[in-house]
Structures are given as structure tokens and as C-alpha cells.
Amino acid sequence: MKKILAWLKSHRLFTLALTIILLLILILSFLPFPTPETTPETTPQPQPVTDQFKKLLPDSVDSPTPTTSKLSLVSITPTPPEFESIWSTEKISLTFDQIINPDTISYRVSPSTRTKTIFDDSQPQTFSIVPLTGWQENQTYTITVSQKLSTPNHLQLDSPLTFTITRKLPNLDDLPTQGY
């Protein structure tokens, strides 16, 4: 033990650097990183698409059978144009009628918002967009999915897919009080 202490005293710069690194690791381990928590109660379930967005969908939405000539949108969850959520990092999921190639996922969000894409191999017809800084309340976002989105067989969208969505807070009068 004495040899170790003697070595550390003779290498003060190394000891200082090591101490700073360990303190930074300790501090960073306690910082909260925003991640959307989903539970069966909070996970949004697909809902019928409103009439305003039916023009984006194929004629037969009830049975998502693959077409032979193009890739088509089946659903957007939560359903546009507005969704209620207390979570600003709520994901927006797009489901298509065929398996999509995750390497071809490309989209633009306006106003510009840092996002990440989630693609799960267990749901190969769906990808999700998650804001890293959160969807701002009452801000309308325009999301445009590139026409280059394709299937493994190279079938693509007919044109870029554009929709708008706005995050609203739930009406406080509609929330359960649970005896408070």
C-alpha cells in the first residue's frame, strides 16, 4: 500500500487527471436523459385515420395486403392532425403495407427539430420518429417522408409523404383526480 501511495505522489498529474475523469463519470451518471417511457397504459394504440388524412392512404386500409407496384401508408400513430400528450418526447409511428428497408428511411421535420429514428426488426413495416428535444406544445410540425423510402424489393412511395401534427396538452378537467 505504501508503494502505491508513493507512486501516486510522484505522479500527481496522472492522479489529478484520473480523479477528474472519475468525478465526471460520477456526475454524468446522475444526469437525467429524456427517454419516452411507455407502458401498456401509455402506449398509444393505432386509431382510425381521420378523413383529412385518408387521401394519404390506399383505398383499402382495413387489410394491409402488399400491393405489387408501390409502397403505401397504412397508419400514423398518434393520429394527425393533433395528439394529446403530457410527454413531449412522444414517438410518431408510421406503418406501411409492406416491409420497409430501414436504410432508405429519410424524412424532414419542419420547423427543424432534432430527432432519432426507431426501427424494430420485429415490426418491419413500421418506423418511429422521436424528438430528442421534445415536441413543443401547440407547435404544428410538418413531417415529410422521402419518396426514396422503399421495400427490400425496391418498391417506393409514389410521391413524398407529407403530414402535419400538433402536440396538445390534455384538458386538465378530463384527467382523473383519484380522490384528490
Helices (H) and strands (E) in the chain, counts: 2, 8
The DSSP letter of residue 174 is G
Strands 126-131, 92-96: pairing kind: antiparallel
Strands 82-84, 161-168: pairing kind: parallel
Q: What is the pLDDT of residues 125-175, one digit of tens each?
A: 999 999 999 999 999 999 999 999 999 999 999 999 999 999 888 877 766
Contacts of 104 (CB under 8 A, 6+ apart): 146, 148, 149, 150
Q: What is the pLDDT of residues 48-73, one digit of tens each?
A: 444 444 454 444 444 445 545 789 99
Helical spans, DSSP H, in 69-163: none
- Predicted structure pTM score: 0.59
Helical spans, DSSP H, in the chain: 2-10, 12-29
